[in-house]
Amino acid sequence: MKYLQNSQLECLSSALSAETGDIHVQCKLESYSCKMTSDDKRLFKLHSHEAAEFQALSPPQAVHHVGSPVDISGSAPVFSYQRSMSDVANNSTSSSVQSSGGMLPLQQTCDVRTLHYLIATLNASFQPDYDFTNAKSHEFSREPSYTFVASAIRNCMSGSRCEHFSRLESPLWKAIGEEVDLPTAEIYSYNPDLQSDPYSEDGNLWSFNYFFFDTKLKRLIFFSCRATSVSGLPSQDESGGDFEDTSMVWSMDDDLEMDY
């Protein structure tokens, strides 16, 4: 995957990351070309050799109506997406589109090349701290549409008292829409178990990892965010060493100005 530098996305990443009271929200918004590097080609060869042409995904996050119909277009209902560890375990044995009841719906499958793009994006974004080479298809879901995802993201942000999100929401989707065609983009989420989750440390309140994949442009937007409770983080004495100041993670130049 080739990282595509985009100053607008960098500014949004910085603006969305904020500390409100005890809650620290950190976001990263990145654009990638699906052009394979030499490492990507080796990884794809590994995945295509070991896997069937189509891979079974976990179902979309449980969708619950939790509010009045509101969204960036003014028409989509507000939903929350939740998934328990039992859901992950129940899907851990899925390895193909064939299930005990027959073929899985297309919405719950992913071709091996697309799965490779998702895993390669995670590696590119979190390297060198994490390696997702062995991530399995059941750790990913395909989401219904960007309006559902937009509502889920809004719910997360609102629940963390991120008042600034309301003024950034429109610029956020405008910027993403300039990189990929949102109405036709395939949207996936990464929902790992606790051992694989890069956000599973103490103090984590919630997190999400969404991929917006434009199949025509072969371009992918990765939007990852987490909220941590500052009081829930281990102190230097408890961690047994120097505790990294998480306020510096993913920070951009605070002096950058956004002009919309």
Tens of pLDDT along 203-224? 788 889 999 999 999 999 999 9
Q: What is the pLDDT of residue 225?
A: 93
107 pLDDT above the threshold of 70: no
Q: What is the pLDDT of residue 200?
A: 61
51 pLDDT above the threshold of 70: no
145 pLDDT above the threshold of 60: yes
Q: What is the pLDDT of residue 64?
A: 37
42 pLDDT above the threshold of 90: no
Q: What is the pLDDT of residue 59?
A: 84
170 pLDDT above the threshold of 90: yes
What radius of gyration, in Å, describes the C-alpha atoms of the chain? 18
